[in-house]
Structure 1
Amino acid sequence: MTEMLQPKVVLFWVFLAAPSFCHLAITRAQITDPSEVSALKSIKNSLVDPQNKLKNWRSGDPCTSSWTGVICYNSTLSDGYLHVKELQLLGRNLSGTLAPELGQLSYMQILDVMWNSINGSIPKEIGNITSLVLLLLNGNKLSGHLPEELGYLPNLNRIQIDQNQISGPVPKSFAFLNTTKHFHMNNNSLSGQIPHELSRLPNLVHLLLDNNNLSGPLPPELSQMPNLLILQLDNNNFSGSSIPSSYGSITQLLKLSLRNCSLQGSVPDLSRISQLGYLDLSWNQLTGPIPSSKLSNNITTIDLSHNLLNGSIPANFSGLPDLQILSLDHNNLTGSVPSNVWQNIVFTGNRSLYLDFQNNSLTNISSPLNPPASVTIMLYGNPVCANANGLNIVQYCQAQVLQIPGGTSSSKINCPPCPTDKTYEYNPLSPFSCFCAVPLGVGYRLKSPGFTDFRPYYDDFEEYLTSGLKLALYQLEIANFIWEEGPRLRMNLKLFPNNSIFNASEVLQITSMFTGWLIPDSDIFGPYELINFTLGSYESELNPSKSSLKTGAIVGIVLGAVAFAATLSAIVTIIIIRRHSRYQAVSKKRSLSRLAIKIDGVKSFTFEEMAAATSNFSDSTQVGQGGYGKVYRGVLADGIVVAIKRAQQGSLQGSKEFCTEIELLSRLHHRNLVALLGYCDEEDEQMLVYEFMPNGTLRDHLSPRSKEPLNFSMRLRIALGSARGILYLHTEADPPIFHRDIKATNILLDSKFVAKVADFGLSRLAPIPTAEGTTPGHVSTVVKGTPGYLDPEYFLTHKLTDKSDVYSLGVVFLELLTGMQPISHGKNIVREVAMASQSGMTFSVIDKRMGSYPSECVEKFLSLALMCCQDETDARPSMMEVVRELEVIWRLTPEADAGLSESTATEASKTATPTTSSSLEMAAPNHPFVSSDVSGSDLLSGVMPNITPR
């Protein structure tokens, strides 16, 4: 009877205590994190604010008092404080410097100080803001070098530092920006070579490095970027370099601009680039004939002027329906002037075609020129003009300078004056006659458009921008547009409301679309930059009164506090009911939602979807099995091949690993870490869905049963990829992570044999700083892991450190070199290899199936492996040192000496050494996610602390 009454009694006290919880929530929710308040004050002190734009930064709370440019999360996070989400200081006439304390805004996603006059260097501490998505520093007076630390921002989507005075090299660490899509670093003083390591960037679409002091050869490896759309390197000095022929295989490229780069050699064959729309190779020293193969039908601009090209103008320039400009002036071209370039072009509206053949050696015209009025032909400086032989070409032989026109809005309305109490104007495109409204002005610039003449794309641009902003066509007026140096297209836009004025939420929505870069990219219009907002009467809308904000904030806080109390009561209730249910023998059904795990960016699948993907978990789709459960190869409804890890029903170990892996992998993104795609948590089932690794585990390929063993360069690349993945866990994850179960079966190989670290079921968070500010060097925990890979010191002391992962990886290195297993027939791989090394018999233990190998590289690799496997923690290198040493060893390989990148070397190795499972349709005999652990997993101390928001 007492047991039955217990839940009711406790619930009574819970609800009785609810008001005090509510009061506590309100007290905590009203304030910004004190460390961030202190940081903002330091930022203010480092800036010079002559127009007093930041005057309200002097008092009140940053989040609840709405400090200018400070945008916070709309609710408290796990620590009970409000946190800064965005710092928006676009065009506020600020100077001074950027304070290092910016790095303390550890939850910030957008840092925008564009178009000010800020000087000094970029603080390296910005590299601490692991949640940062947009880094927008362009249009200032920043100088100094780019900090290496910026290359370790795991969530960065866009880095804009253009139009500053930044010098020095492009850091090689930028090759780790695996989520970054936009590199806008033009118009600075960057020097040195473009790092070939940038070729590893999987998501980069725009690489803008024009107008710098870059030198050295163009890296051929840039052709390996899988998503590169724009490569713009104009006005650098790649003296003596040629255009790599591999650039002709960047099949997805939309724009290639290498103007004035001191390039030599020939024009490469670019006919395989099926979507190429813009080609500018002008003002170089290119020689030889123009390739005769036809370019993409999407091409709008071909500029090969001011080179040393010879031969005739090929016929492939005809039949290009979108061509706007063909500029071949100032070359050594001979033969006839083509008369059919405008073939298949429909000239309507403002559609024009410019053909600049000036200052060549063209001697005749194959047939009489009779172009449409919209075609401009320039022949000045050719022999054909002096020997016209009766041809009526005088109008084409005048010296001309090619100029593409801009434009202004031509709409004029004769209406009575608008009211003057606000910044009213007539909307010339409104369906209502003489309709006055207050526009929002936007200074806007296309940074790398895919055309040279905007006029034919005017209507398309209006459709593109209004659909992105969810406005009607008549709400946008392009007041004017003008071409600027670059070439870049500057516009002044006016956005009109449906009624006479936008309300506050509409203004905020429109501005956030621009400042958050939420308008989708366009292939033809390319990347844009925001220059300014002309707010007019909307100035007060973006800086509302403190009182209204405070009222709204208090209402939100009260509602949040009530929700907090209700949620807390529900949690206590669930705990009591679950405890009581043990006595009643009620079956437990696990639920992800009841574990209070919030997962962003990870899809929730239904049981039916998982069953359909695996033919109802047919044995034919099973590819592995371990202590956790079974692993299946599945095909989702959209055709994506996945690996589905299904927990054994009733497995407590499975439940813990399930939570741990989701909590970790949902926020880890690195090329060398396996990607979690989703999960299923229903029908008493728990499943994890990963990207499928068609080449299985590393252990598969080291096994004597492997028909095609890995050669040395592939093994070294796998070692380097694995080390980089673990280095990310140790130094770039927030908070850092100790894997705790690194082994050959947890290193997966994708279709290109890129190594990816998997299975985070045993992982632990690295120690966090104490109240005194010190960080312990270890985590005390029950020993978990796999025999043969366990760090001896961790085994004896139960102290887990980052060097524990170094030891385990060292064992994997020894496996790569010897093909042996960690423990086999009573022998330990570390002891056996160490004894062979000490006795001068190193090469006796090297895997003979590896084939020929460079002895110096093998010796260095083996020495590194043994250093990693030292018994004493302090004697082992750090993971950063491991990565650096592996990179040194790679540079000693014949592949590196031959100029091959790591990925190129892999492709070559695959050609020489085919694998047993290179197709997505082939399942590995032992699947990536199968674990042979002898012990279970534990939760990360129950709850993940301070998860970085997304």
Structure 2
Amino acid sequence: MYQCRAWTYVAVLAVCLCWSSLQAGVQGQNITDPVEVTALKAIKKSLIDPNKNLSNWDRGDPCTSNWNGVFCFNKALDDGYLHVQELRLLNMNLLGTLSSELGRLSYMTILDFMWNNISGSIPKEIGNITSLELLLLNGNKLSGPLPEELGNLTNLDRIQIDQNQISGPLPKSFANLDKTKHFHMNNNSISGQIPPELSRLPNLVHFLLDNNNLSGYLPPEFSELPQLLILQLDNNNFDGSTIPASYGNMSKLLKLSLRNCSLQGPIPDLSRIPKLGYLDLSRNQLNGSIPPGKLSDEITTINLSNNNLTGSIPANFSGLPQLQRLSIANNSLNGSVLATLWNETTLNTTERLILELQNNKLTNISGSTEIPQNVTVWLQGNPVCSNVNLDNFCGSEIDDGSDSESSTNSTASCPSQACPPPYEYLPVVCFCAAPLPIEYRLKSPGFSDFRPYKSTFEEYLTSGLNLTLDQLDITSFVWQKGPRLQISLKLFPVYVANANNNHTFNLSEVQRIIGKFTSWTIPDRDLFGPYELLQITLLDPYKNVTASSNKSGVSKGALAGIIVGTFAGAVTLSAIVSLFIMRRHKRNHRAISRRRRKSKSSVKIDGVKDFTYGEMATATNNFNSSAQIGQGGYGKVYKGTLADGTVVAIKRAQEGSLQGEKEFLTEIELLSPLHHRNLVSLVGYCDDEGEQMLVYEFMSHGTLRDHLSAVRSKEPLGFEMRLRIALGSARGILYLHTEANPPIFHRDIKASNILLDSKFVAKVADFGLSRLAPVPDIEGDTPAHVSTVVKGTPGYLDPEYFLTHKLTDKSDVYSLGVVFLELLTGMQPISHGKNIVREVNIAFQSGMIFSVIDGRMGSYPSDCVEKFLSLALKCCQDETDARPSMAEVVRELENVWFMMPESESKITESVSSDKTGKAVSDPPSSSNAGKNPYVSSDVSGSDLVSGVIPTITPR
């Protein structure tokens, strides 16, 4: 064993020497511009990174050390420095704000913060990055107006700020963005008039500003945009505005969507637009008749429903070869329904035609009433439906199934369960491979039914990715509001018959595919419109793929030379080092063995009293059964009175208990230096006459579990007291995690290990299973977890710790979350086969949270209970990273506390205490940390101030 340990140390030394040499090799390379290094550090400082995705931003040089998400030019520019070319930080659960220092990355071409939780405003300094081509900020919580300075980005190709909270007007300076093709700004709160000046944009292709607060009029000048393909402005308020007649001159327009925009007046003649494929003018106040001109043969969707249209159905709606949906429902159309609408349509097996004609004044059908199998006609609410023979036209509306679909790939003949997860069969052949699951969305598709275009889409996507059709499997698709089409797909490694196939993509191929999506190098196709990448899931075989794969830095040959040379040196040292370490370990082993052979330990801890067996026997009336107040796996617990009159609790280990001996030493080592008002104090110990006992301060009100039990408790706790107990417990654990030196993971937090003193101050007890938190390694990095055998109490165990044996501070957060649920519901963690977390989650999701609240709690403020319960469920998330930190838990509990009625009186009644925890007070506000010695002595003020709880949806 000692030889193994010795060689471990040798290996560590070798790695260190390799790293030092590697760094020395890097020193000879070009480095990143110091201005940009400073800027990147400021960018990180302004962000909150709960998942530690930017942890390597504190080490080495950004370009040569491959900082996560930082991509650099592969050679130095004229100034001799390397420069940041791309910053890709998408989907990293980042919070915080965008730093103005972004403007110092003056060579950057791609800025990507998509799908995070970043708030605050867009820095105007981004307008200084004149090289920028892609500005991707969609899917955050950004607010405030759009900076005028963004109009300086003269090389910008795409601006995506959709799905934020941006307000204010569109800057007129955007008219200077001569190279910009894509304006994606939907789902914000942008207001005011669309600047007519934007009609000068020579390359604008997509203009998506639906779901905003735009007003004023539709600029007629937009008809002059030479490249415009999509104009999508749904759900704005152009109150009283008309659709300019000049829009009929948009020669390249593919999609015009102006749904629910408070538009009035007639529909312009759009028959001169040769490739118009999608027209939605529904939910306005348009009037007059439908123009008689025939629309493009490319048209798939015509939606003119919910207007004030009159006249008859135009004959030119018949014979449109690509038409999938015609909706003119809820108008005042009259006359005949032309049977040519369905009789002149030729459909294959995957094509459908839906004709929505209901709620008009149509009186009869002109022509055959036989409907082809793939056609649906709805005529409800028209006079024609008074004819009893038209059930196939006037029956109930049905779902045609075009909204969603799941894949049924051709693997039925393959052996069942033959691919071990995460491997799956390729769609066509019985070959196990690890896919890349991808969530992908079409933001403005040019059709209403995806099924006829599914094969076309597969060809389009695989050709854009340089893959074969066999490598793509569309598992499902679903229509979302917009309408947008979300597609779940999987990409598989290539399969070649009679070849030695790989079961996984190689590293460079994964990076190439990701780069294709994130840099928008898959060419657009008119029919499918713009797309967005929502998520790529990296399964186990691909988890070592990092977002940053810079080409700058040390070459592979140089790196190999450095490592080989360094390793040779390390091997030379191995004999000396291993001999030294083995001798040292043998000496330590002999010393430990001698100590363990002693019948009595002679533990001496400063500040903790060493009692004799006789003193303990006297204190408990010779361990009389009447003095026994509890019993656990360690042994029995007695109430005792010391010679000086101090009342204590004495925990006596069972005779011969190895577990008891281990917990005895653990508790003394861990508890003796800890002093906090929410931790049970260790008064002393006894290690005498073969007995081991621990002596604690006496907690007269027993365990929290007893007070939550309907059988044991005499007086039920009210909500205010329960909240106070929760806050005290959380503060005690926060002290363990952040102020104890070294920090401690408790590992057995439960209601029976939270004790209450004479004034109901909560104190965390029982440190027999506790573990020291990991310490920094040789490089100064602190591991995120301790690998250990799973121990704890069922019902309180962190699921991820149980599965992986990785103990973290979030394991304690989970256990405390279960205690919170006990406080709120009175339930036990596991009772009659029911798990408290699952039961409360079900009630939460069904909107019945108050049905599980403990009725013995009496009256309570519902908003406080909801907030407390929501926090408890956040703590009990299955995934470690989804849980808040203990500092965040304390902060949130304090917020709930000060939501309580009469919170002012609670502030004035606060009593400060020192670290001994002798005094009792109501929970003070963390905002008074600088004034209240109770807060400053108990908790790190910086931890409290910086604590932010991310938005988490309980499940």
Q: Which range, TM-score by smaller chain?
A: 0.5 to 0.7
Tell me what 1:424 maps to: 423
Which string of whole-angstrom CA distances, capped at 9 and with x for unpartnered residues, describes residues 697-742 of structure 1?
xxxxxxxxxxxxxxxxxxxxxxxxxxxxxxxxxxxxxxxxxxxxxx
Tell me what 1:533 maps to: 536
DSSP-derived class of the 1:514 partner:
helix
Structure 1 residues 97 and 539: alpha-carbon distance in aligned structure 2, compared to 1, 3 A threshold: farther
Tell me what 2:40 maps to: 40
Among 471, 474, 478, the alignment partner of 1:482 is 478
DSSP-derived class of the 2:555 partner:
helix
Q: What's the CA shift for 1:300?
A: 0.1
Tell me what 1:446 maps to: 442
Which string of whole-angstrom CA distances, capped at 9 and with x for unpartnered residues, describes residues 433-476 of structure 1?
x2011111111000000000000000000000000111000101
DSSP-derived class of the 1:142 partner:
strand
Tell me what 2:607 maps to: none
Task: Please tell me the residue identity of whatever aligns with 1:506.
Answer: E
Task: Please tell me the residue identity of whatever aligns with 1:282.
Answer: S
Tell whether the 8 Å contact from 1:30 to 1:557 is kept in structure 2 after alignment: no
Tell me what 1:609 maps to: none
Structure 1 residues 546 and 223: alpha-carbon distance in aligned structure 2, compared to 1, 3 A threshold: closer
Equivalent-residue separation in structure 2 for 1:120 and 1:369 (angstroms): 60
Q: What's the CA shift for 1:556?
A: 9.8
Structure 1 residues 545 and 122: alpha-carbon distance in aligned structure 2, compared to 1, 3 A threshold: closer
- The reply on whether 1:261 has 2:261 as its aligned counterpart is yes
Higher relative contact order (CA 8 A, sep 6+): 1
Tell me what 1:333 maps to: 333
Tell me what 2:487 maps to: 491
After the TM superposition, which residues 309-708 of structure 1 pair with which residues of structure 2 at under 5 Å, given as runs? 309-386=309-386, 388=387, 391-399=389-397, 404-411=402-409, 412-413=411-412, 414-418=414-418, 420=420, 423-429=422-428, 432=429, 434-498=430-494, 499-537=502-540, 539-543=542-546, 551-552=554-555, 555=558
After the TM superposition, which residues 731-746 of structure 1 pair with which residues of structure 2 at under 5 Å, given as runs? none
Tell whether the 8 Å contact from 1:29 to 1:80 is kept in structure 2 after alignment: no
Structure 1 residues 493 and 544: alpha-carbon distance in aligned structure 2, compared to 1, 3 A threshold: closer
Q: What's the CA shift for 1:493?
A: 1.2
Tell whether the 8 Å contact from 1:406 to 1:482 is kept in structure 2 after alignment: yes
Q: What's the CA shift for 1:391?
A: 3.6
Tell me what 1:248 maps to: 248
Q: What's the CA shift for 1:82?
A: 1.0
Equivalent-residue separation in structure 1 for 2:557 and 2:104 (angstroms): 26
Q: What's the CA shift for 1:68?
A: 0.8
Structure 1 residues 479 and 110: alpha-carbon distance in aligned structure 2, compared to 1, 3 A threshold: same
Q: What's the CA shift for 1:508?
A: 1.0
Equivalent-residue separation in structure 2 for 1:545 and 1:211 (angstroms): 35
Task: Please tell me the residue identity of whatever aligns with 2:142.
Answer: L
- The reply on whether 1:283 has 2:283 as its aligned counterpart is yes
DSSP-derived class of the 1:111 partner:
strand
Equivalent-residue separation in structure 1 for 2:364 and 2:307 (angstroms): 21
- The reply on whether 1:76 has 2:76 as its aligned counterpart is yes
DSSP-derived class of the 2:165 partner:
coil
Equivalent-residue separation in structure 1 for 2:550 and 2:42 (angstroms): 26
Tell whether the 8 Å contact from 2:72 to 2:552 is kept in structure 1 after alignment: no
DSSP-derived class of the 1:479 partner:
strand
Tell whether the 8 Å contact from 2:74 to 2:552 is kept in structure 1 after alignment: no
Tell whether the 8 Å contact from 2:75 to 2:552 is kept in structure 1 after alignment: no
Which moves more between the two structures, 154-163 or 407-416? 407-416
Tell whether the 8 Å contact from 1:29 to 1:82 is kept in structure 2 after alignment: no
Tell me what 1:228 maps to: 228
Tell me what 2:206 maps to: 206
Q: What's the CA shift for 1:368?
A: 2.9
Equivalent-residue separation in structure 2 for 1:497 and 1:154 (angstroms): 40
Structure 1 residues 259 and 213: alpha-carbon distance in aligned structure 2, compared to 1, 3 A threshold: same
Which string of whole-angstrom CA distances, capped at 9 and with x for unpartnered residues, describes residues 148-198 of structure 1?
011110110000000000000000000000000000000000000000000
Structure 1 residues 328 and 402: alpha-carbon distance in aligned structure 2, compared to 1, 3 A threshold: farther
Tell whether the 8 Å contact from 1:277 to 1:451 is kept in structure 2 after alignment: yes
Equivalent-residue separation in structure 2 for 1:488 and 1:71 (angstroms): 31
Tell whether the 8 Å contact from 1:144 to 1:166 is kept in structure 2 after alignment: yes
Q: What's the CA shift for 1:319?
A: 1.1
Tell whether the 8 Å contact from 1:56 to 1:68 is kept in structure 2 after alignment: yes
- The reply on whether 1:156 has 2:156 as its aligned counterpart is yes
Equivalent-residue separation in structure 2 for 1:351 and 1:546 (angstroms): 44
Q: How many residues align?
A: 531
Equivalent-residue separation in structure 2 for 1:246 and 1:486 (angstroms): 26
Structure 1 residues 332 and 128: alpha-carbon distance in aligned structure 2, compared to 1, 3 A threshold: same
Task: Please tell me the residue identity of whatever aligns with 2:394.
Answer: Y
Task: Please tell me the residue identity of whatever aligns with 1:423.
Answer: P
Task: Please tell me the residue identity of whatever aligns with 2:276.
Answer: L
DSSP-derived class of the 2:67 partner:
coil
DSSP-derived class of the 1:143 partner:
strand
Bigger Cα Rg? 2
Task: Please tell me the residue identity of whatever aligns with 2:485.
Answer: L
Tell whether the 8 Å contact from 2:380 to 2:393 is kept in structure 1 after alignment: no
Tell me what 1:183 maps to: 183
Which string of whole-angstrom CA distances, capped at 9 and with x for unpartnered residues, describes residues 312-366 of structure 1?
0010001100000000000000001121113443321221000000100001111
Gaps (5+ residues) in structure 2? 1-22, 495-501, 562-955
Tell whether the 8 Å contact from 1:440 to 1:538 is kept in structure 2 after alignment: no
Structure 1 residues 258 and 112: alpha-carbon distance in aligned structure 2, compared to 1, 3 A threshold: same
Task: Please tell me the residue identity of whatever aligns with 1:505.
Answer: S
DSSP-derived class of the 2:533 partner:
strand
Equivalent-residue separation in structure 1 for 2:327 and 2:263 (angstroms): 18
After the TM superposition, which residues 817-832 of structure 1 pair with which residues of structure 2 at under 5 Å, given as runs? none
DSSP-derived class of the 1:36 partner:
helix
Structure 1 residues 538 and 522: alpha-carbon distance in aligned structure 2, compared to 1, 3 A threshold: farther
DSSP-derived class of the 2:513 partner:
helix
- The reply on whether 1:147 has 2:147 as its aligned counterpart is yes
DSSP-derived class of the 2:142 partner:
coil
DSSP-derived class of the 2:508 partner:
helix
Structure 1 residues 556 and 181: alpha-carbon distance in aligned structure 2, compared to 1, 3 A threshold: farther
Gaps (5+ residues) in structure 1? 1-22, 559-950
DSSP-derived class of the 1:179 partner:
coil
DSSP-derived class of the 1:376 partner:
strand
Equivalent-residue separation in structure 2 for 1:231 and 1:59 (angstroms): 47
DSSP-derived class of the 1:292 partner:
coil
Structure 1 residues 545 and 464: alpha-carbon distance in aligned structure 2, compared to 1, 3 A threshold: closer
- The reply on whether 1:109 has 2:115 as its aligned counterpart is no
Q: What's the CA shift for 1:424?
A: 1.4
Tell whether the 8 Å contact from 1:29 to 1:81 is kept in structure 2 after alignment: no
Please give the TM-score of this superposition, normalised by the length of structure 1.
Answer: 0.54
Structure 1 residues 337 and 490: alpha-carbon distance in aligned structure 2, compared to 1, 3 A threshold: same
DSSP-derived class of the 2:221 partner:
helix
Task: Please tell me the residue identity of whatever aligns with 1:428.
Answer: P
Tell me what 2:565 maps to: none
Tell whether the 8 Å contact from 1:28 to 1:81 is kept in structure 2 after alignment: no
Equivalent-residue separation in structure 1 for 2:356 and 2:252 (angstroms): 28
Task: Please tell me the residue identity of whatever aligns with 1:444.
Answer: Y
DSSP-derived class of the 1:150 partner:
helix
Task: Please tell me the residue identity of whatever aligns with 2:427.
Answer: P
Task: Please tell me the residue identity of whatever aligns with 1:392.
Answer: L
Structure 1 residues 546 and 400: alpha-carbon distance in aligned structure 2, compared to 1, 3 A threshold: closer
Q: What's the CA shift for 1:401?
A: 7.0
Equivalent-residue separation in structure 2 for 1:292 and 1:195 (angstroms): 32
Q: What's the CA shift for 1:397?
A: 4.0
